[in-house]
Amino acid sequence: MANKEDELQSLDELAAEAEEPDFDAAAASFDEIEALRSERDDFRDKFMRALADAENTRKRADRDRREAENYGGSKLARDLLPVYDNMSRALNAAKEGEEKVPEALLEGVELTMRELINVFKKHGIEPIEPQVGDKFDPQQHQAMFEAPLPGTQAGDIIQVAATGFMLHDRLLRPAQVGVSSTPAS
């Protein structure tokens, strides 16, 4: 029996030595775990926002690069339009009085004009060439004057003063036109 008494005594000693569960420490550990989870969620949110911001920046830079590529030369293109106008006027004047202009000079101006038009096309510059009788479009035309003209309707183009130009999908210069102001009868 001494053995059983020794066993009971050692069980009593072990029970006495065993501490009661520390519920405060467990609650503190739970609070710490929750704080870490909250911090993790905050970092995940910040990471996702930074990732989205980086993607938006990449897209914006790509769009800006494309726009600079397509429209960066618009100032140069606008500066070249008077050259086109003057060459066009020279060709029209030369064709009206062909006997006065040497053939070689006329051919040289025509070749230069053709080359200028090819360069325009290569860089996305397309002419806007309205015809007499077309309807006036304020998105592509600039009315230089209005005049009543019998046989036309109000808003019809009655004269084209200058060719307009588009740079890709943007208006570089509107076509300058005269517009009929004849009232509807």
* pLDDT reported for residue 126: 94
Residue indicated by tokens 């830079």:
61
Q: Are 178 and 161 in contact (CB under 8 A)?
A: yes
CATH class of the domain whose range is 125-185: mainly beta
Burial class (CB in 10 A: 0-12, 13-18, 19+), 73: middle
* pLDDT tens for the 185 residues of the chain, in order: 567 777 766 767 766 666 666 667 777 788 889 999 999 999 999 999 999 999 999 999 999 999 888 888 889 999 999 999 999 988 888 887 756 778 888 888 899 999 999 999 999 999 999 999 999 999 999 999 999 988 888 899 999 999 999 999 999 999 999 999 877 55
* pLDDT reported for residue 185: 52
What is the C-alpha to C-alpha distance for residues 100 and 95, in angstroms, rounded to an integer? 10
C-alpha distances in Å from residue 145, one per residue of 7, 157, 180 = 119, 10, 9
